[in-house]
Each structure stands twice: as C-alpha cells, then as structure tokens.
C-alpha cells in the first residue's frame, strides 16, 4: 500500500474579532485510507494575544496513513472557538483545507467562517454569547449545503505541514 506521512503544526490564527482562542481540529479521509499511527482529532490550548492579533498554538500534527487509492485524499477540518472570562465558549469560525498532494514543506492559510443565524440569534450572540452552530460537521467541506447558509467571515488559521509520500510509484503515481 502507498503511504502518506503528514507532519507539522497548527501555528495559530489571525484576524478574529474575539480573543482567547483555541482550535478543535480533525482529519477526514475516504474509505480507502487507513490511519497507521497518530490521532484523527485534537484540540489546542487557549491563547490570548498580548501583542498584535496572532493567537499562537504551535499544536503538533503527526499522522501516518496507508491507502489503496487517491480518492478521499485527507482534509483538515478546523473549528476555532473563543473563551470568555467566565469560561464560556462560543464558535468563532469553521474552516477546512486539503492536505497538499506534493511532498515537501507547505505553509497553509485556512480561511474560516461562521453561520450568522437570524437577527435574534445575532443579537443574543452579542449580549449573551453562544450563537448558531452546524448540526453536522461534514457541512464544513460539503459544498451543496454550505452555500445555502448565511455566514460571516472569520479569521485565518495558519498551518505548517510537511508531507512524505512512499510507494506511490508502485501504483503508477509520480510524485
């Protein structure tokens, strides 16, 4: 089987109006992919930027996959959350990006968005916190349902990813 090693980190995020940010992440693959080592999901620590608007996480990602085909290439899905002084958490943005398909190091910038909801939900979010969230996480990367939502732009999550490919030449794929 061909193998893919994804090694890197979620560096941090910029452009969010909220402070005290953390990120929940996961990786989604097709049925032909098998995770050999690493964890499919995780969460960073909370960071409150002191200088500038960059929240630094430096959260490691280390995954090793085996695959029988290219369909279902790995995608990273991200949820950025903010935490207030009372410890309450509210969604700051959803985002996803495809893991690059060429070996080497890559700097990725993943834009995020969040559902707006009705004017009542927006007003409640401003005063009480909370706000609308997606019922199904796969809506993040499925275009048909996502384009019907009313959304607001969030910030950008920055990632540094290194990719190693092994045995793809045995299956007729040139790297």
- Say what the pLDDT of residue 50 is: 85
pTM of the model: 0.86
Domain residues for the domain of 142 are: 2-171
pLDDT at 122: 64
Report CA-CA distances (Å) from 34 to 18, 30, 68. Answer: 37, 9, 9
**Domain count within the chain:** 1
Q: What is the pLDDT of residue 93?
A: 92
pLDDT, residue 86, reads 79
| CATH number of the domain within which 34 lies | 2.60.40.150
pLDDT in 10s for each residue of the chain, 175 residues: 899 999 999 999 999 988 899 999 999 999 999 999 999 999 999 999 888 889 999 999 999 999 988 889 999 999 999 998 878 888 899 999 999 999 999 999 999 988 876 667 666 666 666 676 666 666 666 666 656 677 788 999 999 999 999 988 887 666 5
Please report the pLDDT score of residue 13 as a whole number. Answer: 97
The whole-number pLDDT of residue 47 equals 95
């Amino acid at each position: 089987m061909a193998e893919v090693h994804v090694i890197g980190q979620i560096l941090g995020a910029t452009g969010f109006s909220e402070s005290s940010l953390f990120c929940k992440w996961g990786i989604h693959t097709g049925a032909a992919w098998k995770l050999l080592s690493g964890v499919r999901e995780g969460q960073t620590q909370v960071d409150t930027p002191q200088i500038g608007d960059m929240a630094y996480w430096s959260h490691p990602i280390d995954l090793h996959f085996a695959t029988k085909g290219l369909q279902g290439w790995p995608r990273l899905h991200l949820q950025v959350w903010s935490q207030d002084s009372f410890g309450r958490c509210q969604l700051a943005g959803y985002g996803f990006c495809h893991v690059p398909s060429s070996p080497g190091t890559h700097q990725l910038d993943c834009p995020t968005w969040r559902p707006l909801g009705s004017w009542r939900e927006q007003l409640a979010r401003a005063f009480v916190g909370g706000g609308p969230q997606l019922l199904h996480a796969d809506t993040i990367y499925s275009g048909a349902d996502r384009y019907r939502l009313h959304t607001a732009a969030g910030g950008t999550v920055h990632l540094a990813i290194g990719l190693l490919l092994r045995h793809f030449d045995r299956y007729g794929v040139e790297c």
